Amino acid sequence: MSLKLYNTLSNKKEEFKPLESGKVKLYLCGPTVYDLLHIGNFRGAITFNLVRNWLELSGYDVTFVYNYTDVDDKIIKKANDEGVEPIVISEKYIAEFEKDFNRLGLKKHTHNPKVTEYMDEIIDYVATLIKNDKAYEIDGEVFYSIDNYADYGKLSNKNLDELNAGQRVEVDSRKRNPYDFVLWKPSKEGEPHWTSPWGEGRPGWHIECSAMIKAILGETIDIHGGGIDLIFPHHENEIAQGEGCNCTKYCNYWMHNEFINLKDEKMSKSLGNVITGRAFMDQYHPEILKYLMLSAHYRSNFNVTDEKIHQTISGLRRVYETLNVINTVVETFEKNESGKVEKKFSELLKQSDAKIKKSLDDDFGTGEVIATLFETVRAFNALNILKKKKDINSWTTANTFKEWILKYGEMMALFQEEPNDFLSSIDEIMLKEKGIDRDKVLELVKMREQSRIDKDWTKADEARDALHAMGIDFQDTDDGVKWNVKV
Ligand code: AMP
Ligand code: ZN
């Protein structure tokens, strides 16, 4: 099966055919850099990291552009509030975003253009739109004339009569149609400005993406992504600009990710329930954010709850415990030795490869991929390989599985942490959440170990009961007590 993806333009799944064989031009609308991003804002970055990686694993050479909107009213407002230049704000939050992005361990994009670096291209673009009779200027302000673009509304399935009847837009009597949108506007006192044929001013929001796409990727691109809120007006307007300027199709496939809700509510600053990616990663771990996002389909509205977070922690713990077992086995032999992968397990990995391909080729079914990974983890654990770790075939099986799972992990930006470190981080998160004192746990663990050595069963039972009462799971092993916090 070849790759199929859901195209918002046609409202159905379509087979993916690139413009140029073996190559993909991918653009994702990036952040407005005036604050830290919340966890919802990161859904696009995490989803399209996976999209890009799967395209690359499928043999495509992907050029991935993710822009920074560094000219915007919110940036200007914050700069005025803080008494600094807007560029101080935008550069600060680009740096902050990059810290979060690197912490998430997502692959660097091919290009991260900033609006301020593409002002000449934006001005040329607007001039071409005027020349093509798709835009008009009034008092230093340039508007796109949607009545002159026959396909307006084709992405969002809105027709102009409905729009005019059903929605209120701010009325500007100078506009030919109330839905005409701004391409260029005069700058107010104290705002950043650039010299243009229409006077000193700055661009409207929508034009930046069209101009950067043309400058970096060309007139037509393969895939354009963003959150569903961007379908109208932003992406609708991008299409009108692109097709009005270049007289050719703007983009073949439009992919939109749904929103993330927090505890059943839409995350919004006014509701005060916004959690930044940074705060989430500080409280939990980047792995937990990525796994949470990828466990649901990108087109489903996803509700982040404590329960989901706990399920995520349990799931990640299972994978990392298995990776820990693998490491113990792998360290037993020299790297140059090799045996055979256990036959049934080897077959399961092959079937799982096919299943994963099928899931991802069907509009990036990441939830199914995770389910398949768990089937393999369960099957590996059932081999009980620690008991046979001196066997060269066990080593080969473990080593092969490690490479296999890390390959898919890399694709999802998961499972690359050092297992012991990650398992400790999870324990730390859960100890904190449950208010358990680590020293007290260690004291009881020691008591349990010593009383077993001393064959003092009453004391051993006492330690067991106390640990369980605190919410600690444990096992007595040859190497002492292994414990973790119940999730
Ligand atoms: P904003 O800063 O609100 O303009 O958001 C930037 C982008 O992040 C938006 O264009 C959306 O596509 C996306 N976004 C905002 N909120 C959410 C959310 N709760 N879940 C998923 N994506 C979101
Ligand atoms: Zn955009």
- Supply 35's token pair: 């604050």
Does residue 43 line the site of ligand 1, with CB under 6 A?
A: yes
pLDDT of residue 190: 87
Spatial distance between the Cα atoms of 356 and 371, rounded to a whole number of angstroms: 9
The confidence score (pLDDT) of residue 173 equals 82
The pLDDT value recorded for residue 53 is 98
Q: Among 27, 29, 32, 41, which residue has the most ligand 1 atoms within 8 Å of its CB, making it the best to mutate?
A: 41
Handedness of CA 101, 106, 108, 113 (dihedral sign): negative
Any idea which residue has 């739109």 for tokens?
Answer: 129
Determine the pLDDT at residue 200.
97
Q: Is 323 exposed, middle or buried (0-12, 13-18, 19+ CB in 10 A)?
A: buried
Cα of 304 vs centre of ligand 1, distance in Å, is 15
Ligand 1 pocket check for 359: Cβ under 6 Å: no
- Ligand 1: atom nearest CA of 234 is 10
The reply to whether ligand 1 has any atom less than 6 angstroms from the CB of 67 is no
Q: β-strands 12-15, 302-304: how paired?
A: unpaired
Q: How many angstroms from the chain centroid is the CA of residue 244?
A: 32
Residue 134 phi/psi, 5° resolution? -105, -5
Q: Which residue has the tokens 């954010």?
A: 289
Spatial distance between the Cα atoms of 151 and 473, rounded to a whole number of angstroms: 62
CA–CA dist 404, 422 (Å, integer): 19
Tell me the pLDDT tens digit for each residue of 153-194.
999 998 777 777 666 666 788 999 999 999 999 999 989 999
Residue type, 147: D
Nearest CA, atom 7, ligand 1: 41
Q: By three-state DSSP, how is residue 213 classified?
A: helix
Q: Considering only CA atoms, which of 5, 223, 243, 208 is closest in space to residue 119?
A: 208
Q: What is the 3-state secondary structure (H, E, C) of 329-396?
A: HHCCCCCCCCCCCCHHHHHHHHHHHHHHHHHHHECCCHHHHHHHHHHHHHHHHHCCHHHHCCCHHHHH
Rounded to whole angstroms, the Cα distance separating 143 from 201 reads 13
Q: Which residues of the chain have pLDDT under 70?
A: 1, 165-170, 335-336
CB of residue 229 inside a 6 A radius of ligand 1: yes
Residue nearest to atom 8 of ligand 1 (CA): 41
Residue nearest atom 5 of ligand 1, based on CA coordinates: 41
* Atom 17 of ligand 1, nearest CA residue: 40
pLDDT of residue 170: 65
Residues near ion ligand 2 (Cβ under 5 Å): 29, 209
Q: What's at 462, amino acid-wise?
A: E
At residue 106's C-alpha, the angle toward residues 264 and 408, to 5°, is 90
Q: Separation of 69 CA from ligand 1 center, angstroms? A: 14
